[in-house]
Amino acid sequence: MVGEIKIEHARKTFVNPDGSSVTALEDVNLTVRPGSFVTFIGPSGCGKTTLLRAIAGLDPADSGAIFLDGEKITQPGVERGYAFQQANLFPWLNIRDNIAFGLKARKEYKEKKDDVAKFIEMTGLQGFENSYPHQVSGGMRQRAALARALVGHPKVLLLDEPLGALDAFTRMNMQDMILSLWKEYNMTMIMVTHDVDEAIYLSDEVVVMSARPAKVEQIIPIDLFRPRRRGQDTFLDYRRKILKILDFAGDIQDVDYYL
Amino acid sequence: MKQTLKKALPFLGLGFAAVTDRAIPNSTQQPEADGPYFFYFLLILAAAYLLAFLCSFFFQGLEEKLAHKAPFLAGAALLVAAINLAISKFALLPVLFFPCLDRVFGVFAADRALLLRCILASGKLLIIGFLIGGGLGFLTGVLIGFSKKASYWISPIMKFVGPIPPTSWSPLVLSLFTTAYAASVFMVALAVWFPVTLMTSSGIQNVGNSYFEVASTLGAGKFHKICHVAIPAAMPSIFLGIFYATCSAFVTLVTAELLGADAGLGWYLNWEKSMMMYANVYAGLILIAVICTLAITLVFKLKDHVLVWQRGVIKW
C-alpha cells in the first residue's frame, strides 16, 4: 500500500501587498496513513487549503517538509491528484479532452486511451463526452474534474472542497461517488471541507484545525461502518463532538478569502 | 405568410430604385454614361436576392436569417435610390466630385481587366504582409506573454514603436529596402504585427493562474502548458488582434501601394484621383469596402470555427 503523507513542522507565511504578513500554517505535524480517507475541517480561512496546496506542491511550505512515501515534495506531480474548489475545466476542451488532458500532457494517451472511457463511465458522464464545460451542469463539471484528476491513477487524491458549490442532493450523490472511487482505486484521500456532516460521512479520520495560524487541534477517528447513515445516533455524537471543538477553536470568522 | 411578406420587402426597395432610375432621366449636367449600369446593378442585386428568396423556402436557417435582414436590405435599397436621385437625376451635388451612378458602375464593366489585376496584386500584398506580420506578431506575443525577460526587453519597444502609423514609416522604409515591393510588404506586415503582438501577449498574461495549476498537477511540462493552455485560453484575445490587424492592413494598403506599385487597389485609387476620374475612385472605394468586408467576414467565420467552445460564454 502506498500513498503515505507525512507533514513535519510545516510553516507558511504570506506577505500582503501592504507589507504586513499573515501566518497561515504554524508547525503543522501530521501523518496520513496510506489508503485512508482524511478530511481537514476548520474555520474559514484557517489555512486548510494552504496545507492542501503545500501537499500538492503548488505553494511549498516555507520551512519544514512534506513527504510522500518518504520522498520530499517540492513541486506538483502526477502521483498527487488535485480536485480544485472550482472545477476549473478547460473551457476550450470538451469533457472527454478535459479528462484526457493529463494523459496527453504526459504522452501516455495512446497506451491508456481506454482509461478515459472508463472514468467517463465511472463518473456517469456518458453521453456528455462531446459537450463543452459551459453546456453541462455544475455537478457534471465537478465529476469531470474528478475524472481528470483520477485518470493518472494518483497515489493521493487531494480534494479542495470540490463539492462546496453544489446543491445538497448533488452533493450527497457525489459523496457516494467519491467513496466508491476511493474503494475501487485504494488511494489516499485528503479532503478539505467546511461541512461537518460531509467530514463524518466520508472519512476515517477528521483532522480539526484551529483558526489561523492553522495547527492540528485534534484528530478524531470515525469508527462507523460504511455505508454510514447521516441520522444515526453515533453519527450525531461525532457531529456534536466536532462542533464543540470547532467552537473552541474560534468557529467561523468572516474572512472573505481563502488561504 | 407574414414572414414571406417581410422577406419580400427588399424587392419593394429595389423596385422603387429601378422605377425611379428608369422614369427620370439623368440630369443634363452629368456627363453622358455609356449605358444604364446602375440599372444593371439593381438587376443583378434583384436576381441574387430572388435566388436567396427562393432557397429560403427550403432551408429553415436561411428563412430566419433572410426575414431578419430583409427590412435592412430594403432600407439600404431605398438609400441607394435616394443617392441616385440626388446625384444622378437632380445633380444636387457638384457633378465633378459626384459622378452619376451609371458611370460609377460602368467602371466595373469598362475597367474589369485592370480591376481584376489590382485585386490580385493587392490580395497578394495583403496575404504576404499578413502572414509575415501575423506570424512574427504571434511569436513575439507568445514570447512576451510567457517570458518575463522577453517582456522586460521587448514590451517597451513594442509599445513605443507600435502606435506609430505604419504609413508614416514610408520615407525611412524606402531607403531601407531595395525594392518598393518589399517596402510595401514591410508596412503591411508592421500594421499587422503590432495588434497581433499586443493582443496575443495581453491575452496570455490574462490567462487565469488556476488553469496553469491544473495543468501542473496533471503533469504538464512548460511547452505543453504554452501550446495547450496559454494559447487556446488566449485565443479570443488573439482573434481580436487579428480583427484589428485586418482593418489596419487595409488602411495601410492604400499608402503602401503609393511606393512605386504598378497595380493594386490603393494604387488604382491614387492614380484615378490624380486623373480627376472620380467615377473610378468611387468604384475603387466600393471594391475595397466589399473586399475588406469579405476579409473580416472570413476572420469571423474562422473565429467561430476555432472558438466554438466559447459560444454562449463570450460575445463580441
- What ipTM was reported for this prediction? 0.87
Check residue B1 and give its pLDDT: 75
> What's the whole-number mean pLDDT along residues B100-106?
92
Q: What is the pLDDT of residue B166?
A: 85
Encode burial over B156-186: b for 16+ CB neighbours within 10 A, e otherwise. eebeeeeeeebbebbeebeeebeebbebbbb
Looking at beta carbons, which residues of chain B come within 8 Å of A94? 309
Residue A24's pLDDT band, with cuts at 50, 70 and 90, is: confident
Q: Does the beta-carbon distance from A134 to B217 stay under 8 Å?
A: no
Give B-chain residues touching A132 at CB under 8 angstroms.
308-309
With helix as H, strand as E and coil as C, how does chain A read?
A: CCCCEEEEEEEEEEECCCCCEEEEEEEEEEEECCCCEEEEECCCCCCHHHHHHHHHCCCCCCEEEEEECCEECCCCCCCEEEECCCCCCCCCCCHHHHHHHHHHHCCCHHHHHHHHHHHHHHCCCCCCCCCCHHHCCHHHHHHHHHHHHHCCCCCEEEEECCCCCCCHHHHHHHHHHHHHHHHHHCCEEEEEECCHHHHHHHCCEEEEECCCCECEEEEEECCCCCCCCCCCHHHHHHHHHHHHHHHHCCCCCCCCCCC
For range B220-239, the mean pLDDT: 93
Nearest of B19, B20, B38, B43 to residue B104 by alpha carbon:
B38
pLDDT at A143: 92
The Cα of B314 is separated from the nearest Cα of chain A by a number of Å equal to: 11
Strand partners, A159: A83, A191
The whole-number average pLDDT for the span B73-97 is 92
As a whole number, mean pLDDT of residues B111-125 equals: 93
* Stretch A16-25: mean pLDDT: 85
Among candidate residues A14, A3, A76, A27, the one with its CA nearest the CA of residue A255:
A14
Asked if the Cβ–Cβ distance from A105 to B220 is below 8 Å, we say yes
What pLDDT was estimated at residue A217? 86
Is pLDDT of B265 > 60?
yes
Q: Does B90 lie at the interface with A, CB-CB under 8 angstroms?
A: no
Interface A-B: count of C-beta contacts within 8 A: 75
Q: Determine, for residues B218 and A77 on separate chains, whether the beta-carbon distance falls below 8 Å.
A: no
CB contact under 8 A, B309 and A91: yes
Q: Where are the domains of chain B?
A: 2-103, 112-309
Confidence at residue A254, expressed as pLDDT on a 0 to 100 scale: 45
Contacts with A104 from chain B: Cβ below 8 Å? 224, 228
CA-nearest residue of chain B to A133?
B309
pLDDT at A44: 80
Instruction: Measure in Å the smallest separation between the Cα of A109 and chain B Cα atoms.
Output: 13
Looking at residue A56, its pLDDT comes to 93
Contacts of B228 in chain A (CB under 8 A): 101, 104-105
Which pLDDT band, with edges at 50, 70 and 90, does B312 fall under?
low
Class of domain B112-309 as given by CATH: mainly alpha
In this complex, do A90 and B232 lie within 8 Å of one another by their Cβ atoms? yes
Report the pLDDT averaged over residues B81-106.
Answer: 91
Q: Kindly tell me if the per-residue pLDDT of B258 is higher than 90.
A: no
Q: In the numeric block, which cell numbers belong to residue B107?
A: 467602371
Task: Please check the confidence at residue A251 and state whether its pLDDT lies above 50.
Answer: no
- Going from the C-alpha of B246 to that of each of A86, B57, B136, B308, the distances in angstroms are 37, 36, 15, 21
Q: Tell me which H or E stretch contains B148.
A: helix B148-161
Does residue A53 carry a pLDDT above 60? yes
Weakest mean pLDDT among A128-132, A227-231, B129-133, B247-251: A227-231
Q: What is the pLDDT of residue B154?
A: 92
Among all residues of chain A, which has the CA nearest to that of B313?
A: A134
Provide residues of A within 8 Å CB-CB of chain B.
56, 58, 75-78, 80-82, 84, 86, 88, 90-94, 101-102, 104-106, 132, 134-135, 148-149, 152
Distance from CA of A245 to the nearest CA of B (A): 33
Inter-chain touch A90–B221, beta carbons under 8 Å: no
Candidates A59, A84, A92, partner chain B, best to mutate (most B CBs within 10 A): A92
Highest mean pLDDT among A1-5, A247-251, B225-229: B225-229
Whether the pLDDT of residue B32 is over 90: the answer is no
A71-72: strand order across its sheet: A21-32, A5-15, A63-68, A71-72
Q: Is B218 on the interface with A (CB under 8 A)?
A: yes
Measured between beta carbons, the chain B residues lying within 8 angstroms of A56 are 217
Q: Indicate yes or no: CB of A78 within 8 angstroms of CB of B228.
A: no
Reported as a pLDDT band with limits 50, 70 and 90, residue A248 is low
Residue-averaged pLDDT of chain A: 88
- What pLDDT shows up at residue B159? 87
What pLDDT is stored for residue A43 in this prediction? 83
- Percent of chain A having pLDDT more than 70? 95
Of A78, A81, A92, the CB nearest to B232: A92
pLDDT tens-digit series, residues A61-73: 888 999 999 899 9
Amino acid B313: pLDDT: 52
Does B190 lie at the interface with A, CB-CB under 8 angstroms?
no
The pLDDT > 90 percentage for chain A reads 47
* Inter-chain residue contact A56 with B221, CB threshold 8 Å: no
Residue B49 pLDDT exceeds 50: yes
Q: What confidence tens digit (pLDDT) does each residue in A163-220 have? A: 888 888 889 999 999 999 999 888 999 999 988 999 999 999 999 988 878 888 899 9
In this prediction, residue A42 carries a pLDDT of: 86
Of B211, B307, B310, the CB nearest to A88: B211
8 Å CB contact between A7 and A1: no
